[in-house]
Structure 1
Amino acid sequence: MPTASLSDAAQPSARITVIGAGVIGLSTAHELASAGHQVTVIHDQDPLETVSAVAAAIWFPYHSENSQAADLLLRRSLARFEQLAENPETGVDLRYGPNLEGSADEDRSWAQIVTNATEAPSADLPQIAAAGMYATVPVITMSTYLSWLHAQVQAQGVQFIKRNLQSLNDLEGEADLVVLATGLRGAELTGDDQSVYPIRGQVIRLANSPGLANWLCYDEHPHGVSYIIPRRTDIIVGGTDVANDYNLEVDAQTAEDMLSRATGLVPQLAGCEVLEHKVGLRPARETIRLERIDGHAMPVIAAYGHGGAGVTLSWGTAQHVVELLQS
């Protein structure tokens, strides 16, 4: 059987397999199906079992590539999330809050993408922060959003198959094109990438009994990363950013320290009921791998290595996959 080419895969109704059912995989499946292709998602974890479900999730380029190419993904994703926020069923809301900074020279390129970002008055800053920026950005309740997106993709006729692939060669003859939206497993399945590593993230989910609406992030908190993200019925408190740590077990001392930092920034959190502890491994890479890959039995497009910004970059990534297919 002749090997399928990328030009074959670009034809309408091509058979395209997306590997991975996290936020990148679901968004990519959605865009490919919208472009008229026959899409199958192969996954070994259901959407609510993926690291995407652990995300806070706020639109912000956390631990991801800083480049013009990444900025385009950010802009496109922001525009889509702002559109989705008009539909309450999506779980996407636009919320206001400050991103605190430990020094006056921190990277603010993200603020140029958000139309309403403004300097935080010094009177609003805690003593341990040097500066900050206020902005209104999307905050996504992931349990609602992933379930909604999964249903949208199914309604497009996308098929879901639970299967643990050991090699891309397992799909030979089954697909005209494969998209790798596999997070940490991307390097394993391509066999040519040694640059992917985990950044361990631990979070606490609190009941939003104070009725908080505004978020707060302080990555450079002197005692560790700190963020407070109110969602519809809960508050996500984080966090950690430990590179090359594969531990998925909750650490009690870490949780105590996170809550102490968060309460110091937002005293209203004191006494909130702890609903859940979660740990996820962010798939990090110096640069996002979003490109065609040669040397396999079928054309392959990689879409992984988003660090802590998988949700933030998801729609832009999905749109670029379609462009790679059509170019």
Structure 2
Amino acid sequence: MVKIAVIGGGINGFSSAVKIKEKFKDAQVVLFSDEFSPNTTGDGSGGLWYPYLCSNTPEHLLIKWGIETYQFVHGLWRKGGHDINLMPMYSLYKNKERFIRPKWASMVFGYHELEEKQLRYLGELYSSAYSAGETFSTFVLLPPSMIKYMETRFKNANGNVINARVGSLHDVILRDYDVIINCTGLGSRDMVPDDAVFPIRGQIAKVVAPWVNQTIMDDDRENYIIPNVNMCVLGGTHQEHDYNRQVDEKDKEMILNGCQAILPSLKNAQLVNHWVGLRPGRSEIRLEPEVIDGKLYIHNYGHGGSGFTLFWGCATNVVDLLEKYLNKSQSKL
């Protein structure tokens, strides 16, 4: 019986664990983490399906991973009961040169570039002057619900979860495992160690605004408005190499004033809280195998702001790499 350890209790760790255990039912699969929902970085995020802060990753991989995730989330949305919203999204630009039509455009629902008349209307509506933009239907997840769903699905497949801190990829706790799946996000900076991993500080505000039913991203203001089933996420910052986890007063003003300038009705929204998280930045998402002293390690980290955009497709890639390795090992025997 092959023994597989997955490190990381976020969306990428649990989705990888789920797909591995459901594919290799006889394998012993254990997930280790010292932090679980609702205390992971992903829990505080907007939960929006939209490739974000991972621009150096090859586009064909973003499309492969992202569209598989989009289709998976669509299937869950159709079933209901998973705290998923399907809604229109508007991504708007003052500088036309900054807008590039994505190659995944034809693979999502209702995509089209905004025409001059629409841009003029939206500019009047959102108090700005836009020269380019796009709209399509996207999904907004409630991150704690999705992580909890993955955890429950993993346990129902007879996967085991252990609350423990793993200090490194060669920690004694991993000694008896044949394969290690590394989904530690920002922790990979020390875990691997990988100096290419860096924090992207994200500060957001959460408000109650049930009348908001569309996602808006304003490239010029660097503000975004993402309503989910419980509240509305207002953002936000993407400050690279910044480890500050404290709420910053200037960022609070930028977020609230900027989003209220887009939608003045947000002035009447009830403030729930301000939140800061450190996204796992990297020049390129690392999803690849590595054999060290005869043991297989599969790395799946560095997703920037796209964890909930790519998680299911990345988990499939993890399973493919694992299957290739196991078939090769069996052929040698």
Q: Following TM superposition, by how much is the alpha carbon of 1:252 offset from its aligned partner in structure 2, in angstroms?
A: 2.1
Q: Select the residue among 6, 10, 14 that pairs with 1:26.
A: 14
Q: Deviations over 1:29-86 (max 9, x none)?
A: 1111110232111001012111110110110010012421222111111111111111
Q: Deviations over 1:159-210 (max 9, x none)?
A: 111111112222444211110000011132223x22111100001110124x
Partner SS state of residue 98, structure 1: strand
**Residue in 2 aligned with 1:6?**
none
Q: Distance in 2 between matches of 1:114 and 1:250?
A: 35
Q: Following TM superposition, by how much is the alpha carbon of 1:317 offset from its aligned partner in structure 2, in angstroms?
A: 0.5
Ranges in structure 2 where 5+ consecutive residues have no aligned partner? 325-333
**Residue in 2 aligned with 1:5?**
none
**Residue in 2 aligned with 1:44?**
34
After TM superposition, the score normalised by the length of structure 1 is: 0.90
Partner SS state of residue 216, structure 1: strand
**Residue in 1 aligned with 2:73?**
81
Q: Distance in 2 between matches of 1:107 and 1:297?
A: 44
8 Å CA contact 1:27–1:314 kept in 2: the answer is yes
After TM superposition, the score normalised by the length of structure 2 is: 0.89
8 Å CA contact 2:84–2:142 kept in 1: the answer is yes
Q: Following TM superposition, by how much is the alpha carbon of 1:253 offset from its aligned partner in structure 2, in angstroms?
A: 2.2
Moved over 4 A (4+): none
Q: Distance in 2 between matches of 1:94 and 1:160?
A: 31
8 Å CA contact 2:5–2:174 kept in 1: the answer is no
Partner SS state of residue 303, structure 2: coil
**Residue in 1 aligned with 2:330?**
none
Q: Following TM superposition, by how much is the alpha carbon of 1:158 offset from its aligned partner in structure 2, in angstroms?
A: 1.4
% identity of equivalent residues:
27
* CA RMSD in angstroms, aligned pairs only: 1.6
Q: Distance in 2 between matches of 1:180 and 1:91?
A: 28
**Residue in 2 aligned with 1:9?**
none
1:256-267 alignment runs, 5 A limit: 256-267=253-264
8 Å CA contact 1:206–1:272 kept in 2: the answer is yes
Task: Work out whether 1:147 is the aligned partner of 2:160.
Answer: no
Q: Distance in 1 between matches of 2:323 and 2:235?
A: 40
Change in CA separation of 1:103 and 1:160 when aligned onto 2, cut-off 3 Å: same
Corresponding letter in the other structure for 2:141: I
8 Å CA contact 1:205–1:274 kept in 2: the answer is yes
Corresponding letter in the other structure for 2:213: A
Corresponding letter in the other structure for 2:75: Q
Change in CA separation of 1:128 and 1:296 when aligned onto 2, cut-off 3 Å: farther
1:6-21 alignment runs, 5 A limit: 14-21=2-9
Aligned residue pairs, count: 310
Partner SS state of residue 254, structure 1: helix
Q: Select the residue among 53, 76, 83 that pairs with 1:63.
A: 53
Q: Distance in 1 between matches of 2:150 and 2:45?
A: 15
Q: Distance in 1 between matches of 2:112 and 2:206?
A: 29
